[in-house]
A and B are shown apart, each in its own frame.
Chain A
């Protein structure tokens, strides 16, 4: 609190949120059930990430009565010390993540207490927490609720309990909720969480079904490193809190020690510029802090450290996408693309994405965009989210998708999963439902999405070629021989020789992939010499001399290049199958 607030009646933070539930996302029974699961699961994943544990999380939802549900989330994380339980769960704005910049799901020290508060207000039930840390022999079973007026935990009981696990935490809440399946449901949340957390195993026990999702990778991601805040990344309130915490040090010392990228020299010049030399921290006024803040903003620092971020990673993202979408039998997956780290207002961030195309995905609907912030799926407020905006603002017709309304999602059988990771995600509200359209983030998303969309375009073009080629070869290798066999069998005659018919129906030089290798086959009546150019991430060339009728050669390209490139050949279009005619510009290169 600053001086300005002192004469106002102090409103406890819990009281404030009790009156403004929607700020935290608890605005309807359906959403409340979803938020409760989300807050608990996010915390479990954070706790596991902190200690490098491969998470296994069980979510159980039971219907107790009309609009009354019991939610139980169990993890195999590190658990939490007995002495910390009450404050962590029963006090708002109490968390383990202050004054440290780190990529975590939790940021505010608010989430789980809000759920506990909501449960207690709607059903009167206190929350139960069972937790065991590795060091202790037994687990402890807490029953607690929140003293709203005082924003302090109210512990009802604490008893030791046997729990046969190395460590972990189980939280049980009873709340007014509404269980739904489909869009914006608990199930969708957990399924999407599995995509962004490929190293996690989930067990879901819902009122109407049970689902197990096995992890797609067996390595825990690197524990994200905590870094001190970058001076350009702090806001006035935060700045004041940090300084108040270290009142018996000098301003210079705090600047140098508690922030990153501040050298002794810079600290000194900031203090001088702000005319705060020799002032004690305890004597600083709000005006002084504002002056300090202004100076910091005007000062150049080195960019923040970027190695503290933990992307999902191209490999794991690819694997979890395959796992999650295999039931749709997609025609193809793009490579996962990771870009960054970049910086916005002193915070490092990176973006990554993967696209899934075709198969049984709906063709007539707008494409599906899966949004993730620090590995947390975002299911609400999609319209105002930077990710949706960035996807919509791409000129999709250039990539072969119809986009009936400009700046709206295009139509087609496509899913794009996009992840933004940062030590500080700029959410549009405390409910953490949408990412703000910060220019630096928008720019990086635009670049990222172009890359993914280009891949899909190339693959679709290749797909068209491939099905043409497959059809022609089915004709000459299967259908015509079967016609010959069947007609001769009916007539009791010898099967006719169909080779002359084959060159008649083909009349082309065909390019086809067999086991990932590219072959050229001459089905015309003349010999041909030609150049083959593969265009993808790079340009690769091979040439063939004098390929005779009915002759076949393997071209000299690696499987990787073949799978990710378009094929161009300097032969005229009418006698080409499975490749484009090489444009003039290329030829001259």
Chain B
């Protein structure tokens, strides 16, 4: 059994044997205890901790639920099985008083366990519903498949036009990065743009690795970007639509999210660069636009308060967008033809940002 998980159980058991009210202790997940760490530029937990004592019915139930999860993880490990978070929530139907009221509650508790043990939920064999993103380009890796064999894959030559699909667990024991013959990684928000770059062979022409984030990227996509940057030294360039929500996609790739503050170190890549679409691009390339909605405007205004956007570049772009009252999609670049993005826009912007 996993040692850190076992330790939680041991502590509870020992406290009970000593006639004490059992408890669990973990970092406070209160908003006040989540801080933007300027040194590493990511969200992190502060120092305050909370103790949950079994003297109240609710916290006691929490402890019981935690024990059930630990036992369940143990069972899966023994049987080499994995389960989705949703499956676990349904399985908890059979856990007596340990049954969860909602999937939100069970997801939260898995995060609690991550916070307590520093184990990733992926390592606890629990995975999210969403499918992983895809990768195309000259990257070679090995993946441990269902049969327990390490399979070598080149993400340009061994895959179809859909690319290599990122599994939910991209930790070393599952995916090993062997080598990459590219200059940078381009993380793309939309499927339409990803397919355009693939068709135009942008990966070969500009020696890049294309990653399709599928909107807000999953944990495994962010983790892979983090490893590509750390282990292979590749710069990460983020290419999204030009609207407040896409700006947030960039921020979560670069600086992490509040929900995953306990693992920001392994999920966030603070050196990521945002390439566009920026508000200035809208003006410079005279792109087709949509009007900002009230929600968009609110989102932009709250971004002005967000420490992650507290640098002159972002302040300028956000204010410009507010002034314009307009937003634009990545695919708006097609105004100048199908090749414009690969022949003109990206090369120009990459050069200006000092990436090529």
Taking Cβ atoms with an 8 Å cutoff, the residues of A that contact B are 471-472, 474-475, 478-480, 482-484, 486-491, 493, 496, 498, 500-501, 504-505
Instruction: Tell me, in angstroms, the Cα distance from A509 to B6 when the chains sit together.
Output: 37
Interface contact B54-A480, CB-CB below 8 Å: yes
Which B residues are in CB contact (< 8 Å) with A480? 54, 60
Which A residues are in CB contact (< 8 Å) with B70? 490
CB-nearest residue of chain B to A471:
B57
Interface contact B64-A486, CB-CB below 8 Å: yes
Interface contact A479-B71, CB-CB below 8 Å: no
Interface contact A501-B13, CB-CB below 8 Å: no
Which B residues are in CB contact (< 8 Å) with A486? 64, 67-68, 71, 98
Q: Which of A482, A484, A488 contacts B98 (CB 8 A)?
A: A482
CB-nearest residue of chain A to B61:
A479
Q: Which of B17-25, B100-108, B161-169 contacts A (4 or more CB under 8 A)?
A: B17-25
Instruction: Tell me, in angstroms, the Cα distance from A486 to B16 when the chains sit together.
Output: 12
Chain B 76-101 near chain A by CB (<8 Å), digits 1 or 0: 00000000000000000000111000
Min Cβ gap B270→A in Å is: 39
Interface contact A479-B16, CB-CB below 8 Å: no
Interface contact A472-B57, CB-CB below 8 Å: yes
Instruction: Tell me, in angstroms, the Cα distance from A496 to B14 when the chains sit together.
Output: 9
Q: Which of B21, B61, B67 contacts A490 (CB 8 A)?
A: B67
Instruction: Tell me, in angstroms, the Cα distance from A478 to B98 when the chains sit together.
Output: 11
Given contacts A474-B57, A490-B70, 16 further A-B contacts (CB under 8 A): A474-B97, A478-B97, A479-B54, A479-B57, A479-B60, A480-B54, A482-B96, A483-B12, A489-B71, A490-B67, A490-B74, A491-B10, A496-B17, A504-B19, A504-B21, A505-B54
CB-nearest residue of chain B to A472:
B57
User: Which B1-35 residues sit within 8 Å CB-CB of chain A?
Assistant: 1, 6, 9-10, 12-13, 16-17, 19-22
Interface contact A479-B64, CB-CB below 8 Å: yes
CB-nearest residue of chain A to B67:
A486
CB-nearest residue of chain A to B13:
A487
Query: Is B145 among interface residues, defined by CB-CB distance under 8 A?
Result: no
Instruction: Tell me, in angstroms, the Cα distance from A484 to B16 when the chains sit together.
Output: 7
Min Cβ gap A201→B in Å is: 42
Min Cβ gap B202→A in Å is: 52
Query: Is B344 among interface residues, defined by CB-CB distance under 8 A?
Result: no
Closest CB pairs A-B (n = 7):
A500-B19, A496-B17, A496-B16, A486-B67, A479-B60, A487-B13, A505-B55
Interface contact A501-B9, CB-CB below 8 Å: no
Instruction: Tell me, in angstroms, the Cα distance from A76 to B71 when the chains sit together.
Output: 67
Chain B 227-260 near chain A by CB (<8 Å), digits 1 or 0: 0000000000000000000000000000000000
Which B residues are in CB contact (< 8 Å) with A487? 9, 12-13, 16, 67
List, sorted by A's number, 28 A–B pairs whose CB atoms are closer than 8 Å.
Answer: A471-B57, A475-B57, A479-B57, A480-B60, A482-B64, A482-B97, A482-B98, A483-B12, A483-B22, A483-B60, A483-B63, A484-B16, A486-B98, A487-B12, A487-B67, A488-B13, A489-B71, A490-B6, A491-B6, A491-B9, A496-B16, A501-B16, A501-B19, A501-B20, A501-B54, A504-B19, A504-B55, A505-B54
Which A residues are in CB contact (< 8 Å) with B17? 496
Which A residues are in CB contact (< 8 Å) with B10? 491
